[in-house]
Amino acid sequence: MTPKYDVLGIGNAIVDVLTNVDDNFLNSEKLIKGSMQLVSEQEAHAIYNKLGQCIECSGGSAGNTIAGLASMGINTAYIGKVHDDQLGNVFRHDINALGAKFKTAPATSGPATAHCLVLVTPDAERTMCTYLGACVNLTVNDIDEETVRASKITYLEGYLWDPETAKAAFRKAIKIAHNAGNKVSLTLSDPFCVDRHRSEFLNLVRNDVDILFANEDEIKMLYGTDDLNEAVMQAQKDCDVTAITCGAKGCIVTDKNEIGHVQGRTVKNLVDTTGAGDLFAAGFLYGISKGKSLGECGAIGNLVAGEVITHMGARPDIDLKKFVKENS
């Protein structure tokens, strides 16, 4: 069959609750700046009650990447679990509105739709507290075989390794994708997430992942080294394509033949780094889908990541198709 989708994203379907905090708040709550921490419903509630006014915005790592790709005109689909509630409807609306196919049945019992408290400090860094809610109910039954077979690339977020049953769903998707001759892509998501699941992630990367995304901390954590070059070389050996984001410095990209560095773009008006990695992946996969060179893929990733950090929230707030056309 001819693949119908360029990219299928599978991830934790989350609505972000964003607000500004100062560094003292992170310290008093014992939160590690820049990280994602899992919290219980009670813990989320206790932190929320200490926050100022917030805005709500659809999020979820793979959800953000798919939203970015859809905004660039790429054919996309998404699998993730919301509850049949108001925030679940918000998530569903927003990803559908951009043109992604999202048909996963919502949970009608159990916990509410997941939310993530995104705490943005004056340096624009984001620190996240995630209540997984309905995401814990994503199971193998939600992995629609037809959709996975119909997708040239299945893109998975490492965060999906946190809710227990999602792992099996994750593995099922990988198997279907590879059996259909399609590619599998993984983002390592967060250094603490890598730390929680390091040996399993290493197995995945060595055996199942064709296109790997990580940032510097995550790739070093994965390979248990402080030496970025060492980690990059190992990743090059393990995956066909690797893209390592290095913040403002840009990214390192590898395939089997080369290792390259793509200079970052200067971003004026840095507001909120939430979604920078997710949108980098969107830009990079856009390039892959369009048959661009490795360097071009990295450059588009840098460009698109540079847009999302100029405003609050992890979803693009402009037409990315037009933006990419005008800026690359």
Q: What is the footprint of its own copies within residues 200-219 (CB under 8 A)?
A: none
Nearer to its own copies, 53 or 257 (CB): 53
Q: Per this entry, what is the length of the chain? A: 328
Enter the tokens of residue 26.
């992170």
Look up tokens 């983002």; give the residue. 187
24 in contact with its own copies (CB under 8 A): no
What's the number of CA atoms in the CB half-sphere (13 Å) around residue 167? 8
Can you tell me which of 46, 55, 105, 168 binds its own copies, judged by CB under 8 A? 55
CB of 116 to its own copies, least distance (A): 14
Tell me how far apart the alpha carbons of residues 9 and 12 are, in angstroms, rounded to a whole number. Answer: 10
CB of 295 to its own copies, least distance (A): 30
Q: Convert residues 295-324 into a mask of x (bound to its own copies by CB under 8 A) and - (unbound).
A: -----------------xx-x-x-------
Nearer to its own copies, 98 or 262 (CB): 98
Do 188 and 159 contact (CB within 8 A), yes or no? Answer: no
Tell me how far apart the alpha carbons of residues 85 and 67 are, in angstroms, rounded to a whole number. Answer: 21
CA distance readout (Å), 121 to 24, 35, 73: 10, 13, 33
41 in contact with its own copies (CB under 8 A): no
* Burial of 180 (C-beta count, 10 Å sphere; 0-12/13-18/19+): middle
Nearer to its own copies, 218 or 272 (CB): 272
The dihedrals phi and psi of 79, each to the nearest 5 degrees, come to -125, 125
108 in contact with its own copies (CB under 8 A): no
Enter the tokens of residue 254.
């590898």
Task: Tell me which DSSP letter residue 106 carries.
Answer: P
Nearer to its own copies, 93 or 249 (CB): 93
Can you tell me which of 33, 41, 46, 97 binds its own copies, judged by CB under 8 A? 97
103 in contact with its own copies (CB under 8 A): no
Contacts of 27 (CB under 8 A, 6+ apart): none
270 in contact with its own copies (CB under 8 A): no
266 in contact with its own copies (CB under 8 A): no
- Select from 73-81, 82-90, 123-131, 278-286 the region that touches its own copies (CB under 8 A): 82-90
51 in contact with its own copies (CB under 8 A): yes
CB of 304 to its own copies, least distance (A): 15
Do 195 and 168 contact (CB within 8 A), yes or no? Answer: no
Report the interface residues with its own copies, using CB under 8 A: 20, 48-49, 51-58, 67, 85-87, 90, 93-94, 97-98, 112-113, 312-313, 315, 317
